[in-house]
Amino acid sequence: MNVDRTIRTLDEFTIQSLRQFPQATGELSSLLRDIGLAAKRVNVEVNKAGLVDILGDHGTMNVQGEEVKKLDIFANNQFVGVLQRGISCAGIASEELDDFVAFDDDISKNSKYVCLFDPLDGSGNIDVNVSIGTIFAIYRRVSDRGTLATREDFLQKGRNQVAAGYMVYGSSTMMVYATRRGVNGFTLDPSIGEFCLSHPNIKCPERGKFYSVNHGNFFQYPEDVRKYINTCQNKTKETGGPYTQRYIGSMVADVHRNLIKGGIFMYPGTTDKPKGKLRLLYESNPFAFIVEVAGGKATDGNIPILDIIPTELHQRTPLFIGSKGMMQDLEECMADAQKEMV
Ligand code: AHG
Ligand code: MN
Ligand code: MN
């Protein structure tokens, strides 16, 4: 019998995808379900943020010397707790934890995957009711199952990701995740408390109207980047410019918009911070994976983000990411500027 179902929940979708791979064990589906559950709990707190005592600073600094918000800690604890109690995750690394954590119980030690995440992205926007998010990356561990997860499991290049995704807690709450087979978006239906497929098979438009960069840092950017930013304001037929500048300060929201509508997001190095601000393992890599699967591109200005071999859990990287055509313009413009500079 063929039942015509127009709405598919995240669980239904991952289980249906699994059916196409008889050899699959279902561990990835279970991991995605766990992540979805943690996201729903975070969403509840984000939505009542002004009503309960969860706004504001936690009073501590993270390992990167940044102020930690109460919601950063809440979100971190939700994701760690759910993944630790699940059956598919051997260990985690998080923006909010100095070092990775290998889960030391028999089920976790026998699990196939490790997960890295930014529990709350854009946390500077929490107190002012602007969209924030969560970002995650999933890798198959390289260490033997049955043992504790190791540093090497976490320091894999982005190209090895099995899946990556993000949540946006915005005008609606969404979860978007990518596997090599495609990118799909789910919107949380609050009436049933489920993520439902709303954006099947997302493709990043070849070009778009948006460029997203922190203009306040303009004079601190390298000259080739400044040249490109100037071209974004030019009226040309080839590029479709001038573009509209949009920068929310929550990477999740900025890259999500550009993924759907077409655009380019940049967080270049600055004179103060030559490697920029964004972290390779749980910010740039997952987005690079998602955007590449959707047909876009992501580089650090020289090489694809996904080819960088990580050396540290919290290492930073400049990031240029978005629609393929706009990324090609950026590369050409930067190459020309470099030739002029020698
Ligand atoms: P986080 O809240 O996880 O520390 O990340 C914030 C990041 C990113 O989301 C955003 O694009 C960027 O910081 C904004 O930084 P600037 O204020 O320097 O532009
Ligand atoms: Mn972040
Ligand atoms: Mn964060």
Helix, strand, coil percent values for the chain (each to nearest 5): 35, 25, 40
Tens-digit pLDDT profile for residues 128-184: 889 999 999 999 999 999 999 999 999 999 999 999 999 999 889 999 999 999 999
CATH number at residue 246: 3.40.190.80
Q: Which residue has the tokens 């470099």?
A: 338
Q: According to the model, what pLDDT value does residue 16 have?
A: 87
Same domain, 180 and 251: no
Ligand 1 atom with the shortest distance to the CA of 265: 11
Ligand 1 centroid–CA 267 distance in Å is 9
Identify the sign of the CA torsion 209, 119, 139, 31.
negative
- Give the H or E element holding residue 106: helix 106-109
| Kind of pairing between the strands at 319-322 and 297-299 | antiparallel
Task: Report the percent of the chain where pLDDT is more than 70.
Answer: 97
Q: Which residue has the tokens 């009503």?
A: 51
Check pLDDT > 90 for residue 19.
Answer: no
Nearest CA to ligand 1 atom 15: 249
Mean pLDDT of 313-324: 98
Please indicate, yes or no, if residue 94 is contained in any of the structural domains: yes
Ligand 1 atom with the shortest distance to the CA of 121: 3
Same domain, 177 and 230: no
Same domain, 82 and 166: yes
Question: How big is the chain by its Cα radius of gyration, in Å?
Answer: 20
Nearest CA to ligand 1 atom 17: 249
Please indicate, yes or no, if residue 119 is contained in any of the structural domains: yes
Mean pLDDT of 4-21: 85
Same domain, 239 and 276: yes
Q: Structural domain of residue 334, as residue ranges? A: 210-341
Same domain, 289 and 157: no
Task: Report the percent of the chain where pLDDT is more than 90.
Answer: 81
Same domain, 112 and 190: yes
Ligand 3 centroid–CA 237 distance in Å is 38
Q: For the CA atoms of 188, 193, 194, 195, what is the dihedral angle to 10 degrees?
A: 20
Please indicate, yes or no, if residue 3 is contained in any of the structural domains: no
Check pLDDT > 60 for residue 4.
Answer: no
- As a whole number, the mean pLDDT across the chain is 94
Q: According to the model, what pLDDT value does residue 70 have?
A: 87
Taking the C-alpha atoms of residue 159 and residue 202, their distance in angstroms, rounded to an integer, is 19
| Confidence class for position 8, pLDDT limits 50, 70, 90 | very high
Ligand 3 centroid–CA 122 distance in Å is 6
Please indicate, yes or no, if residue 1 is contained in any of the structural domains: no
Ligand 3 centroid–CA 23 distance in Å is 36
Pair 38, 92: CB distance under 8 Å: no
Please indicate, yes or no, if residue 314 is contained in any of the structural domains: yes
Domain count of the fold of the chain: 2
Of 72, 121, 319, best ligand 1 pocket probe by most atoms within 8 Å of the beta carbon: 121
- Pocket around ligand 1 at a 6 A CB cut-off: 66, 95, 118, 121-124, 214, 249-251, 277
Same domain, 184 and 160: yes
More confident call, 51 vs 69: 69
Please indicate, yes or no, if residue 135 is contained in any of the structural domains: yes
Q: According to the model, what pLDDT value does residue 288 have?
A: 99
| Confidence class for position 342, pLDDT limits 50, 70, 90 | confident
Q: Of the candidates 138, 168, 199, which is a domain's last residue?
A: 199
Please indicate, yes or no, if residue 332 is contained in any of the structural domains: yes
Same domain, 129 and 273: no
Tens-digit pLDDT profile for residues 319-335: 999 999 999 999 999 99
Q: Which residues pair with 116 in a beta bridge?
A: 93, 137
Ligand 2 centroid–CA 240 distance in Å is 30
Same domain, 258 and 192: no
Q: According to the model, what pLDDT value does residue 83 have?
A: 98
Pair 293, 241: CB distance under 8 Å: no
Same domain, 125 and 179: yes
Mean pLDDT of 176-196: 96
Q: Of the candidates 134, 165, 199, which is a domain's last residue?
A: 199
For residue 269, the 8-state DSSP code is -
- Give the H or E element holding residue 120: strand 113-121
Same domain, 16 and 161: yes
Please indicate, yes or no, if residue 5 is contained in any of the structural domains: no
Q: Of the candidates 171, 199, 227, which is a domain's last residue?
A: 199
Same domain, 155 and 232: no
Q: According to the model, what pLDDT value does residue 5 have?
A: 61
